[in-house]
Structures are given as C-alpha cells and as structure tokens.
Amino acid sequence: MFEGKVVALERKPELHRLTARFEVSRVWKGELTTRAEVSTIDVGSMCGYGFEVGSSYVVYAAGEATGLSTSACTRTKVSADAKDDLTALGVGTVPAPAPPEAAVVAVAPVTAVVPVAAVVPVAAVAPVAPASPVTADVPPSGGGCTVATDIPPGKPGCAVGGEASPLWLLWLGLLGVRRRRIRGR
C-alpha cells in the first residue's frame, strides 16, 4: 500500500495491460522506493483501473516491488477521495530513494564491411548419373523380404519362393506350440 503520483503511463494493447509509473510519497505496507510501477488490465469492463498522468492515488497493490498490480476491485482510489483510508492508515513512512536510472548509452554506428578481394564464382560441377535401381528378381539369402527401395511394378516386394530357412521353420513350430497351449487351457 502506498500513495503516489502517476508520472507516466505505458499501454500494451496487444496484452490488454496498462502500466502506471508512480512517484511514491509514502508507504504503509511493503518495501518501496520513491519510484514504483503498477500494472493493471487496460479494459475497464474487466476490472482494470484507469490511472491518469498527474493524479495522486492511494494504491492497494499485490505482488513484489518489481511486479505490482492492482484493479478496480481493490480499494485503490484517487487520494482526494481516500480521506477515510488515509485516516485509518495513519502517517505511513517515507520511501527509500530510488536508485539512479540506467543511463542510455549511445551506440556507435556500424561501418560496412568491404571485401578484401573480389569474389570469384566456383566452377560448375558436372551432374552425376543416377544409381541403377535395385531389382527384386533375386530373393535374399535365407528367404524373407527384400530390401529393395525401387521395386518394379508387377513384381512382389517379398521373396516367397526359394528354400525356407531353418530359422523360419523353427519360428512356425514355436508359434504352433504356443497356440496349442492357449487352446488347451
């Protein structure tokens, strides 16, 4: 809680926020310096508080000194209309002086970079012939699917013919045994 005069307003319409910068004259709760910023919603119908530059307010804010906020739903009001609040709150304390604001440092203009030597284009690269497609006419050793990525139309993608590998026969046998056990339960 503090009393202070609005010295600047910053609106951020895309965020529906209004930030009021105060010159704080007295404090009742919290640790504030002579400078404070309080944000509120910039839309009055959403309980935003309509601060005006040059007016003094008794502000009931929530948050830390680095991120205070208030709304029309608090007891925040113009100091002239806050006689009862000021009487109940008492004298208050004088805030600590604010640290000096950071000075704006001028930045030297950037100078253009000039190339040391002329840029020479690189010689054209000869085109490379495409790789020949992998055919699926020959099944892989041991059966199974081919790894062909360019299978001609009308040709199967998996090698079905040829000799069955012993691993494939073992797999089928284990699958059959498992099915018999499940059915037998």
- For the chain, 185 residues long, give each residue's pLDDT as a single digit of tens: 999 999 999 988 888 888 999 999 999 998 888 999 999 988 767 888 889 999 999 999 988 877 899 988 899 999 999 999 999 999 998 888 888 877 767 777 777 777 677 767 777 777 777 766 655 555 555 555 544 444 555 555 554 445 556 676 777 777 777 666 666 55
Only one residue has tokens 């929530």, namely: 62
| 36 alpha-carbon distance from chain centroid | 27
Q: What's the rounded Cα separation, in Å, for the pair 29 and 31?
A: 7
Helix, strand, coil share (%) of the chain residues, nearest 5: 20, 25, 55
With beta carbons less than 8 A apart as the criterion, state whether 15 and 79 touch: no
- Contact yes or no for 138/149 (Cβ under 8 A): no
- What pLDDT score does 183 carry? 63
